[in-house]
Structure 1
Amino acid sequence: MLYLQSITILRAGSAADEYGNERPNWANPVRTSVSGVNVQPSGGSIEDTDDKQLTVTGWRLYTPRGMDLDLRETDRVEAEGTVMQVIGKVARWPAPGGGVHHIEADLREVD
């Protein structure tokens, strides 16, 4: 019953800047829908009110046993109407005998 959520993985295209360097272009990301995952709050929220009201909320994405995703640290994840950044490397836990047992990824929502 834990893996009933659906997400969309957002991957930026690339575009050259004025100096010819390739940069991520989030104007029209490639969208990949995935179902059967679990996204839970993780680490609480932090408020930063120095310059403006900003709330940063942590989340964690889990897949069930045997499910690997094409998810990179440069991607974003849309879940429950919220777009979140992938924070750090995606953890791919090895399965006994080879392959991936499941993945975990830290996500951050910034309002």
Structure 2
Amino acid sequence: MMFFDQDIVRLRAGTRVDRGGNAVPDWSPDAVSRLAITEVSIQPTTATETAAPERTAVVTGWHVQSQPGTDLDIRAADRIEWDGMILEVDGEIARWTDPVEGGIHHVELDLVRATG
């Protein structure tokens, strides 16, 4: 049985103009928009460790799912704040269609955190 009792914060970069005149993501605190998202399920998925003489890299992953009937304002370029961590969205956002009523049935996405 899945429980939708966790909350996350969606972080979306603002934009700034670089030296070449191009609009680029701006992750500075004043430029980022924040959106609280409630009642999702977050489950661990992966943990890998790669040891090298100069460092040990650890990649940890989680899977997020919204409640049935709930769409989430999250894009692949966003970041997620959860449990004191800033996590990257890994891949595209899966928006599942309700086969009976149409519209969004639920949303699923994967998150990763790399350290080391």
**Selected match of 1:39 from 42, 51, 57:** 42
Instruction: Give a deviation string over 1:18-45, Cα, whole Å, max 9, x none.
Output: 1111111111211100110111111x21
Tell me by how many angstroms 1:53 deviates.
2.1
Give the equivalent residue in structure 1 for 2:75.
72
TM-score normalised to structure 2 length: 0.89
**Selected match of 1:101 from 102, 105, 108:** 105
Which one has a bigger Cα radius of gyration?
Answer: 2
The whole-number CA distance in structure 1 between the counterparts of 2:74 and 2:49 is 28
The whole-number CA distance in structure 2 between the counterparts of 1:47 and 1:13 is 33
Give the equivalent residue in structure 1 for 2:15.
14
TM-score normalised to structure 1 length: 0.93
Give the equivalent residue in structure 2 for 1:49.
51
How many percent of aligned residue pairs carry the same amino acid?
38
Tell me by how many angstroms 1:81 deviates.
1.1
Q: Secondary structure at the match of 2:28?
A: strand
The whole-number CA distance in structure 2 between the counterparts of 1:11 and 1:36 is 20
C-alpha RMSD of the superposition? 1.2
Structure 2, unaligned stretches of length 5 or more? none
The whole-number CA distance in structure 2 between the counterparts of 1:93 and 1:7 is 20
The whole-number CA distance in structure 2 between the counterparts of 1:6 and 1:76 is 14
Aligned residues: 110
Tell me by how many angstroms 1:82 deviates.
1.3
Structure 1, unaligned stretches of length 5 or more? none
Query: Which letter maps to 1:12?
Result: A
